[in-house]
Amino acid sequence: MTTESITLPPRSEIPAEQTWDLHSVFATNDDWDAAGKTLLEKLPLLAAFKGRFAEGPQTLLEYVRLFQETAELIGKIGTYASNEYSVDTNNQAAGGRAGQARSLMARFAAAVSFANPELMSIGFDTLRQWMQQTPELAFLAHYFDQLERRQAHVRSGEVEEVLALTGDPFGGPYAIYSAINSADLTFRPAKAADGTSMDVGQSSIGSLVTHPDRDVRRTGWESYNDSYLAFKNTYTATLTAAVKQDVFNARTRRYESSLHAALGPNNIPVEVFHNLLNVFQKNLPTWHRYWQLRKKVLGYDQFHVYDIKAPLSTAKPVVPFEQAVDWICEGMAPLGDDYVRTLRYGCTEGRWVDRACNLGKREGAFSSGSHGTQPFIMMSYANDVFSLSTLAHELGHSMHSYYSHKNQPFIYGRYTLFAAEVASNFNQAMVRDYLFRTQTDANFQIALIEEAMSNYHRYFFIMPTLARFELEMHQRAERGAPLSADILIGLMADLFQEGYGSEVVFDRERIGITWAQFVHMYMNFYVYAYATGISGAHALSHGILAGKPGAVDKYLGFLKAGGSQYPLDALKVAGVDLLSPEPVESAFAVLAGLVDRLESLLVK
């Protein structure tokens, strides 16, 4: 029996070409420090506008210009600090800078907290007159409309300042979660059937649960969940604090509930959320059929959660990073040369992507950046179809940011989370369609369907289940009901038991701790947007692939719109109405079709 061990390298041993070019934001840490000092010098200048807006449109224009300039600077400061820490949470200096950046953001928010109440006091009729008198202010039309829609939830200048100052201490639960999750949490190694030890970490768990060796999958999955269970009380404390902060913010801003507070500012009716959950529950039998098919093909007497991503073919395709970039560019070709050329540059000499697997790298994958920076993608690339799809997903976010920042002023450069998951899933749908048409080998086709089902499993099974959990948690907090580790684990387990049905062996404690593994739970009602996003993405990609006239230009227009429109309006212009449950129903039909296609291939 071998005693071989496979370990993750420290960050210091990672080649530069596998990392992002963070120094494109600030060349050195000294430059970052200098930017922080510049920011602090600008804050009194912003605060000095308090009480002056009534002087007229020119004063307001001066403020807006200084605000956008300063906001872009704080965006760069935050991007540099948070990204540096994300890829190496063992770096104490980077952790310190990330904390400093959060404090600076809170001070900036406090310095400008007077603005919205003061604009409201002037009156929207007057503000619209100013836009006509001063064309340079005309771009604020949507901003004023947003402010008018939520004026019942904007408090006095003094209260707004206090709420802004809570931003730093209220970041505590997220910061504590991130530190435990990425730096302090340790895992016992996974064990292969031949005795090989494999490091379990946030950057390796994805490759372990898709490993062909069932012992690797089982021991990796058990190790991962057991480490979370060992800290279940700590994770409960951090998440409960975050949920109570959501309730505090909702009540302070006079919203009916935390759900209304999360969706209302973006003009999204809560019916969109509830429609999704209703359609999800109605379509659970599709998932039950998929578990049955997997169990049969794998030949197992018992089917476990760690078998959900077990490869169904012995010939697992190897997809190097460079090949993934080529295929993604070819899949996105319908969007035109500018899109593809920019995407390829970002993946190569632009060094947008931090793809290394190293110790201390945080879990999952994300795209980040701000006005004045290039996009940044963090992931742990594992040379397989799953990593290819993750890269396509994050590039969807990054290209959305690229076009948004390029075409919008700062105040509209950041699109909503609701719209974000459309662009990311759109890329996956386009690339998947291209590969289905061009990579006709049966084993590759099976691997593609497995990846697609894995993607759907995350976004159309895990995320809606977490959304149901999140709703129940907030409702309990709103009525003052207790929230303990055992209660949260029990609630999560009950929801997953309904989802997995009788086909999956149910390890109640390990499955019940799933909520602790998602940083998304610290982003007030975000997880549901993955399911609405994949629904919108499939509808829009279908139109483009079918050659629908104007579909490409409309989609690119959606990317360029950023936050200059309400997300439901921007998507409707692009060609999909997410106020209706129909796109979600259609996406579940795509899911059912994938199960049919997989069954046909496996029978052959």
Active site residues per annotation? 394
Spatial separation of the C-alpha atoms in residues 108 and 36, rounded to whole Å: 11
In contact, 147 and 120? CB cutoff 8 Å: yes
User: What is the secondary structure of 296-363 as a DSSP string?
Assistant: HHHT-SS--GGGTT--SSS-PPP--HHHHHHHHHHHTGGG-HHHHHHHHHHHTTT--EE----TTPPS
Spatial separation of the C-alpha atoms in residues 541 and 432, rounded to whole Å: 11
Kindly give, in sequence order, each residue whose CB lies less than 8 Å from that of residue 282, ignoring residues fewer than 6 positions away: none
Strand partners, 353: 377
In contact, 484 and 468? CB cutoff 8 Å: no
Neighbours of 355 (CB within 10 A): 22
3-state class (DSSP) for residue 192: coil
Would you say the C-alpha torsion 221, 226, 229, 235 has a positive or negative sign? negative
In contact, 32 and 26? CB cutoff 8 Å: yes
Spatial separation of the C-alpha atoms in residues 240 and 602, rounded to whole Å: 45
Strand partners, 198: 6, 190
Amino acid 234 reads: T
Sheet holding 5-6: strands in order across? 5-6, 197-198, 190-191
Would you say the C-alpha torsion 263, 266, 269, 274 has a positive or negative sign? negative
User: Strands 353-354, 366-368: parallel, antiparallel or unpaired by DSSP?
Assistant: unpaired
From residue 117, give the alpha-carbon distance in Å to each of 44, 131, 298, 404, 430.
Answer: 19, 18, 62, 28, 44
Neighbours of 440 (CB within 10 A): 9
Q: At what angle do helices 29-47 and 92-111 cross, to 10 degrees?
A: 10
User: Strands 197-198, 5-6: parallel, antiparallel or unpaired by DSSP?
Assistant: parallel
Spatial separation of the C-alpha atoms in residues 272 and 276, rounded to whole Å: 6
Phi and psi (nearest 5°) for 199?
A: -65, 135
Spatial separation of the C-alpha atoms in residues 178 and 298, rounded to whole Å: 36
Amino acid 108 reads: F
Tokens of 600: 């046909």
Provide Rg for the chain, Cα atoms. 24
Task: Give the closest residue to 177 by CA, choosing from 240, 119, 131, 121.
Answer: 240
User: Strands 353-354, 197-198: parallel, antiparallel or unpaired by DSSP?
Assistant: unpaired
